[in-house]
Chains A and B, each alone.
Chain A
Amino acid sequence: MVKVKTLIIFALVAIIGIFTVIYFFQSEKSKIKKRFKLLGERVCKEPGENKLNRALKIQKIRTLFAENCELKTHIPSISGDYSPQEISTLAASALSRFSKLSLRFYDLDIDIQKDGIAKVTFTAMLTGKLIGEENFDETYELESVLYKVQDSWLFKSFEVIEVLRK
């Protein structure tokens, strides 16, 4: 009888442990998804948007990035390491060329690794209009690494996956 009780207690502890781990990872994944959503919201630009609001949004972009975020693309001129302030400056400069811009993320595949590091593969869809030019619609697959710093997930790197190489 005692043996059965011991087994039941072990089983309960194991089940609680499994659910705790699942809950923890789900909760962390949810936080990471929110980070991506926030990045998209801060980058987007609507025609007629209040300039002060936009400036504040751009300034806040830097709070999403870790020190020295690395950008890897097939375009050497924009690849490199950027500080959070440089990212805000770069975003402000790039956004000034658009009359409207939307950045959305899909198919986030999140792999939480040890020591507060997460690797995320995702699709980024960029739609909008360059000032004086036609609408555009671009899609990319990317990989990003995020570090957890004081309960916040910060972007540490972005790499554009080269699907077709001429």
Chain B
Amino acid sequence: MVRFAGKKVALLKRVVALEGERVEFRHGKLFVNGKKIDEPYVRYPSDWNLQPRQVEKNTVYVVGDNRSVPIENHHFGQTSIKRIIGMPLW
């Protein structure tokens, strides 16, 4: 869970890359350090393309599982680890 604003607004996202790793999307497929990641939790395929970028120090890269929306409408990206406030219990 990522603290998005104030004390009450949070986003539920999946951490897909850690600091120093390179992340990119090619035709909807996620690549970390050039290796394709198997993502069985993604129900709806996307056509997202994102140039490779390195995750900065003290941050993680998070993406939601709902990839059916256009890439520009989806809240995802690099965020400070200080904003991680919890995780689902199951």
Contacts and interface: CB of A to CB of B under 8 A. Distances in A.
B26 interface: no
Interface in B1-29: 2-9, 11
A124 B77 CA distance: 21
Contacts of A161: 5
B46 interface: no
A119 to B, nearest CB: 16
Contacts of B50: 166
A114 interface: no
B83 interface: yes
Nearest to B50: A166
A141 B76 contact: no
B77 A164 contact: yes
Secondary structure of the B contact surface, majority rule? strand
A106 B8 contact: yes
Contacts of A63: none
A118 to B, nearest CB: 18
Nearest to B79: A164
Interface in B55-89: 62, 75-79, 83
A166 B50 CA distance: 9
B78 to A, nearest CB: 5
A139 B7 contact: no
A163 B79 contact: yes
A75 to B, nearest CB: 12
Nearest to A108: B6
Nearest to A105: B6
A65 interface: no
Contact of B4 (A106, A139, A166): A139
B75 A164 contact: yes
Interface string A130-163: 0000000001110000000000000000000101
25 contacts: A106-B6, A106-B8, A107-B6, A107-B7, A107-B8, A123-B6, A123-B8, A123-B9, A139-B4, A139-B5, A139-B9, A141-B4, A161-B5, A163-B2, A163-B3, A163-B5, A163-B83, A164-B11, A164-B62, A164-B79, A165-B77, A165-B79, A166-B50, A166-B77, A166-B78
